[in-house]
Amino acid sequence: MEAGLITYDNFVDDPFQTLQPDDETKGALNILKWAYDAYGDSIIYACSFGAEGIVLVDLIAKVKQDADIVFLDTGLHFPETYELINKVKEKYPSLRIRLKEPDLTLDEQREKYGSALWKRQPDQCCYIRKVKPLEETLQGAVAWLSGLRREQSPTRRNTNFINKDERFQSIKICPLIYWTWEDVWNYIRENNLPYNELHDQGYPSIGCFPCTSPVSKDGDSREGRWSGLNKTECGLHTTGK
């Protein structure tokens, strides 16, 4: 695959739109090889350590052993998520996995905005605890990686391998766009990867504990996120400020 260095300023279109996702990883490994070859250390993976995240970590480790991986640590994650991160650090010791915290501690946020901001103004809470920290993390990076899949939701259906990210004025690379939920779990099981134990308890998509609930057996994979609130995304994958 050939494509020059694509940046936010010169982006025209995804050069890999015609890439046939007919290999074992549905194009993911080829995209990762291209991305790390093109961007080197100027690419960051913002990992949520969900099921897709574990797959992507494992694929990245095959391509870039010292890849920079960031977890947006809101301070409101389930204990199982932190346990998983520790297991992943042990399994892939050469990866540079770091936790990025928001400027405001939870106590400072409560003092400034009142208690349980996530119930009253979840967009504001996500901005403080996720979006702004990612903005800070991506300063100096040309591109970032995400585990988005087209199948996940209608808002992700048009995601390409290489995307112009207006929100963070960056290039967003999504190697797993063609993966199904079944593909993700087949890969995890076949490769005996660690995963968040909450997945076995009805949580397909796992975020902060105040905003994540289990879903019915046949429920949409993101049905349990911000349930009861008019919100489906944390703001990392939308264009508005």
Nearest in space to 175 (alpha carbons), one of 146, 152, 143, 205? 146
Among candidates 161, 190, 198, which has minimal Cα distance to 84?
A: 198
- The correct pick among 57, 211, 215, 236 for binding ligand SF4 (CB under 6 A) is 211
Please list, in sequence order, all residues whose beta carbon lies within 8 angstroms of the beta carbon of residue 238, skipping any fewer than 6 positions away: 155, 167
Binding mask 84-123 for ligand SF4 (x = CB under 6 A): ----------------------------------x---x-
Q: How far, in Å, CA of 102 to CA of 115, rounded? A: 17
Task: Closer to ligand SF4 by CB, 42 or 121: give it.
Answer: 121
Q: Shortest gap between Cβ of 223 and ligand SF4 (angstroms)? A: 15
From 25, 30, 48, 74, residue interacting with ligand SF4 (rule: CB under 6 A):
74
71 binds ligand SF4 (CB under 6 A): no
Burial class (CB in 10 A: 0-12, 13-18, 19+), 61: middle
Residue 177, interface with ligand SF4 (CB under 6 A)?
Answer: no
Question: Contact with ligand SF4 (CB under 6 A): which of 26, 130, 172, 222?
Answer: 130
Q: Which amino acid is at 28?
A: A
Q: Which residue's Cβ lies closest to ligand SF4?
A: 208
- Please give the positions annotated as active site: 234
Cα–Cα distance between 205 and 147 in angstroms, integer?
A: 12
Give the interface with ligand SF4 as residue ranges (CB under 6 A). 74, 76, 118, 122, 125-126, 129-130, 207-208, 210-211, 234
